[in-house]
Amino acid sequence: MKGIVFTEFLDLVEEKFGLGMVDQIIEQSELPSNGVYTSIGTYSFAEMLQLIQNLSANTGLSIDQLLLAYGEHFFNVIENSYPGLLATYKDPIEMLSSIENHIHIEVRKIYPDAELPTFEVLEKSDQHLVMIYMSSRAMHHFGLGLMNRTFAHFEMTSNIQIEKIKEDGTEVKFTIHKT
Ligand code: HEM
């Protein structure tokens, strides 16, 4: 997992819960990196899992709630870092249906070792999109946060349903409608 995912996560934890919480979750986790991340480095996903599990235990918020908020925050990072990539799109359904075949392909050119999910489009129209998310990281709520903010970026609203295909969340179905 890329360092930018860790540095932005810890920035958000500091902003929402304070520096004390950042120190606490780093101490509670067993981190080969010792909690020192650079945005261009690459670290084990197991470190992110521990940080988020400890944050969940300390705050009482679920992992899905935390990943949703983090996904919404991460969209700001994308808007600031990759404005050109977003400018290729005029519509949220077009953009979301292109993650697999365009957006994440570009991401992989920048970061060859990125750990990215797979999205498979099942249905698509002007008004709706059905796709399957697949990833061993089960970060579907991070994806939901990014999707919410994708609609906001185009000044549109949406109704997005998540249905688990595998109980552990490694495969889920997103049903997305413009509202
Ligand atoms: C992961 C970039 C759009 C879903 C990532 C990562 C980067 C990235 C850098 C981390 C890779 C790693 O840590 O190794 C981008 C950029 C985008 C974009 C630049 C737009 C220009 C989206 C959108 C979605 C999405 C719109 C909507 C669902 C995800 C998910 C992950 C991820 C769910 C977590 C990894 C996983 O689940 O396996 N993306 N992304 N991305 N991205 Fe994107």
- Domain boundary pick from 61, 76, 103: 61
Are both 97 and 134 inside the same structural domain?
Answer: yes
Please list, in sequence order, all residues whose beta carbon lies within 8 angstroms of the beta carbon of residue 28, skipping any fewer than 6 positions away. 50, 54, 58
* Residue pLDDT, tens place only, 99-111: 999 999 999 999 9
Substitution site in 99, 154, 176 for ligand 1 pocket (most atoms within 8 Å of beta carbon) = 99
Are both 112 and 41 inside the same structural domain?
Answer: no
Are both 75 and 44 inside the same structural domain?
Answer: no
Q: What is the ipTM of this complex?
A: 0.92
Distance 108 CA to ligand 1 centre (A): 10
Nearest residue CA, atom 5 of ligand 1? Answer: 116
Taking the C-alpha atoms of residue 143 and residue 62, their distance in angstroms, rounded to an integer, is: 16
First CA to last CA across the chain, in angstroms?
34
- Domain boundary pick from 61, 77, 100: 61
Ligand 1 binding pocket includes 29 (Cβ within 6 Å): no
* Residue pLDDT, tens place only, 43-53: 999 999 999 99
Q: Which atom of ligand 1 is nearest to the CA of 86?
A: 21
The CATH code of the domain that includes 161 is 3.90.1520.10
Are both 82 and 144 inside the same structural domain?
Answer: yes
pLDDT of residue 40: 83
- Domain boundary pick from 61, 92, 109: 61
Domain extent for 115: 68-178
